[in-house]
């Protein structure tokens, strides 16, 4: 057999098989191959888990930064410290993030066990808001219970309560085969949700009313309500919202200001116009973090309802697109969880939480960019406020727990090995590897 000269390739090998410019190590993937690889990443068992976790962490970090920037001038004038609100927000995060971690490790039966108590407590708290001396009104709505140094907004945990209760109720009915007709489908879901919405409506909180009604419709859609029934419920929701707008003069002023902002620039449209000025001045990449001019007493409630305007001013179009992209990925992850899990309760709860967060973000951002009327609800995870932040983090922790129930997710987590906390404890001799 003939020998091969040293340093040369075998006769049956191609030049591209050797290391070098054309070899496999130097192979460059084209756009099509990269797109296929990216799609392949989305098919992994833990994709939903990491998307929810990553988007949550990034939005929370951005929110803490923007709360500091948006509130610094006002708080410096009011309290002598620019860090007053961001310190409170950090405190809420210190409660919410461990709660999120704990929720991510709970079994599904625990969430179902909390459904009825949480809904009942939310109803009681919403009723207390209407008691003179306990409830606190601001900007046309009575939303808070005044407990001295702390103010609680019960309508925020009520969203989570409605998701859990509605999902548990419909899951039980489906297991018993009671969802073939409209009456078992709507009773007692419609009266329960209606009573919760009524309590919120009595506090003149239109924004939260819209979110609660969205959760109700999302549950009906996912459980497979007949088309005529769903359209009828959607029409009833639109009629109810129209009545709420007509009966309150300040809501009509907001609506007319939205339809004709140029005619009310110093009254009902002032906040909306200032928000548009802030976003427009940001350009492509913003005027710089912390350099906002709108927060110097021009834009009201910059750290809550209109924090997206400060993002656009300081970080520009690039910053706003990042926020939209993160909410888009969070939406994809939530819907992916709802599609892939097998349990009915898990599917309904995941869809309800996703609808809640997405619609609330759309309403907030739509109001800031003047494509929707102002309703006064915060941007999830970004705006200041512990009453909204903590239930939202708990809901996202629940989504993480549901993501672990996707096909192949538990096996992938087991193969990943111990987490950093366990590894650190093992290094200290406090846990087994």
Cα–Cα dist 244/183, whole Å: 27
Cα–Cα dist 58/323, whole Å: 9
237: confidence class by pLDDT, cuts 50, 70, 90: confident
Residue 206, pLDDT score: 84
> How many other β-carbons are positioned within 10 Å of the β-carbon of residue 369?
15
Using DSSP, state whether 301 is helix, strand or coil.
coil
Residue 8, pLDDT score: 47
Instruction: Note the pTM of the prediction, 2 decimals.
Output: 0.86
Mean pLDDT, the chain, rounded, equals 84
Q: Are 246 and 252 in contact (CB under 8 A)?
A: yes
Strand 141-147 relative to strand 150-152, pairing: antiparallel
Question: How many percent of the chain have pLDDT more than 70?
Answer: 80
Q: What is the 3-state secondary structure (H, E, C) of 68-137?
A: HHHHHHHHHHHHCCCCHHHHHHHHHHHHHHHHHHHHCCCCHHHHHHHHHHHHHHHHHHHHHHCCCCCEEE
Q: Are 126 and 196 in contact (CB under 8 A)?
A: yes
DSSP class of residue 294 equals: T
Residue 417 confidence (pLDDT) above 50: yes
Cα–Cα dist 346/399, whole Å: 9
Q: Which residue has better confidence, 375 or 283?
A: 283
CA quadruple 372, 373, 377, 383: dihedral sign: positive
Tens digits of per-residue pLDDT, 217-231?
Answer: 999 999 988 888 888
Tens digits of per-residue pLDDT, 242-298?
Answer: 887 777 766 677 776 666 666 666 666 788 889 999 999 999 999 999 999 999 989
Least-confidence region, from 109-123, 385-399, 402-416: 402-416
Cα–Cα dist 85/35, whole Å: 43
Q: Given 3-state DSSP classes, what are the helix, strand and coil percentages for the chain, each rounded to the nearest 5?
A: 70, 5, 30
Q: Which two tokens stand for residue 38?
A: 């990216």
Total residues belonging to the chain: 433
Phi and psi dihedrals of 92, rounded to 5? -65, -40
Q: Which residue has better confidence, 418 or 305?
A: 305
Range of 110-114, 180-184, 263-267 with top mean pLDDT? 110-114
Tens digits of per-residue pLDDT, 352-373?
Answer: 999 999 999 999 999 999 888 8
Residue 227, pLDDT score: 83
138 to 16, 133, 144, 428: CA distances (angstroms)? 72, 14, 9, 52
Phi and psi dihedrals of 62, rounded to 5? -60, -40
CA quadruple 240, 245, 246, 248: dihedral sign: positive
Cα–Cα dist 23/29, whole Å: 13
Q: Which residues contact 50 (CB under 8 A, 6 or more apart)?
A: none
Q: Are 301 and 271 in contact (CB under 8 A)?
A: yes
Tens digits of per-residue pLDDT, 315-346?
Answer: 999 999 999 999 999 999 999 999 999 999 99
Least-confidence region, from 2-11, 269-278, 405-414: 2-11
Tens digits of per-residue pLDDT, 119-140?
Answer: 999 999 999 888 887 777 666 6
Q: Which residues contact 382 (CB under 8 A, 6 or more apart)?
A: 59, 62, 63, 66, 307, 308, 311, 323
Residue 224, pLDDT score: 86
420: confidence class by pLDDT, cuts 50, 70, 90: low
């Amino acid at each position: 057999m003939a020998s091969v000269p040293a340093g040369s390739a075998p006769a049956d090998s191609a030049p591209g098989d050797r290391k070098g410019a054309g070899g496999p190590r130097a192979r460059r993937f084209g756009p099509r191959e990269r797109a296929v690889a990216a799609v392949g990443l989305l098919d992994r068992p833990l994709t939903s888990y990491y998307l929810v976790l990553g988007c949550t962490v990034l939005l929370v970090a951005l929110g803490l930064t923007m709360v500091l920037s948006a509130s610094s001038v006002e708080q410096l004038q009011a309290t002598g410290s620019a860090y007053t609100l961001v310190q409170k927000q950090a405190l809420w995060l210190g409660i919410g993030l461990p709660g999120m971690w704990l929720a991510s490790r709970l079994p599904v039966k625990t969430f179902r066990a909390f459904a009825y108590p949480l809904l009942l407590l939310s109803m009681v708290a919403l009723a207390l808001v209407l008691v003179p001396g306990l409830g606190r009104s601001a900007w046309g709505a009575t939303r808070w219970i005044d407990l001295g140094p702390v103010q609680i907004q019960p309508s925020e945990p009520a969203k989570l309560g409605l998701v859990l209760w509605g999902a548990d109720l419909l899951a039980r009915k489906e297991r018993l085969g009671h969802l073939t007709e409209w009456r078992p489908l709507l009773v007692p879901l419609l009266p329960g949700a209606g009573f919760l919405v009524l309590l919120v409506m009595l506090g003149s909180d239109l924004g939260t009313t819209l979110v609660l009604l969205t959760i109700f419709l999302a549950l009906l859609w996912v459980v497979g309500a007949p088309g005529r029934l769903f359209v009828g419920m959607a029409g009833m929701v639109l009629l109810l919202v129209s009545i709420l707008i007509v009966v309150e003069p300040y809501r009509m002023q907001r609506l007319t200001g939205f339809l004709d902002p140029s005619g009310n620039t110093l009254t009902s449209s002032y906040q909306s116009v200032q928000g548009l000025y802030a976003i427009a001045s940001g350009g492509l990449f913003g005027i710089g973090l912390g350099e906002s001019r709108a927060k110097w007493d021009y834009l009201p409630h910059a750290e809550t309802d209109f924090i997206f305007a400060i993002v656009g001013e300081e970080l520009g179009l690039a910053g706003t697109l990042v926020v939209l992209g993160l909410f888009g990925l969070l939406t994809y992850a939530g819907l992916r969880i709802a599609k892939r899990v097998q349990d009915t309760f898990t599917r309904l709860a995941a869809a309800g939480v996703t609808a809640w967060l997405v619609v609330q973000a759309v309403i907030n951002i739509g109001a800031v960019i003047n494509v929707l009327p102002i309703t006064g609800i915060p941007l999830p995870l970004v705006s200041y406020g512990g009453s909204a932040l903590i239930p939202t983090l708990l809901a996202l922790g629940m989504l993480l727990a549901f993501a672990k129930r996707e096909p192949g997710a538990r096996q992938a987590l087991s193969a990943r090995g111990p987490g950093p906390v366990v590894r650190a404890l093992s290094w200290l001799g406090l846990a087994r590897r």
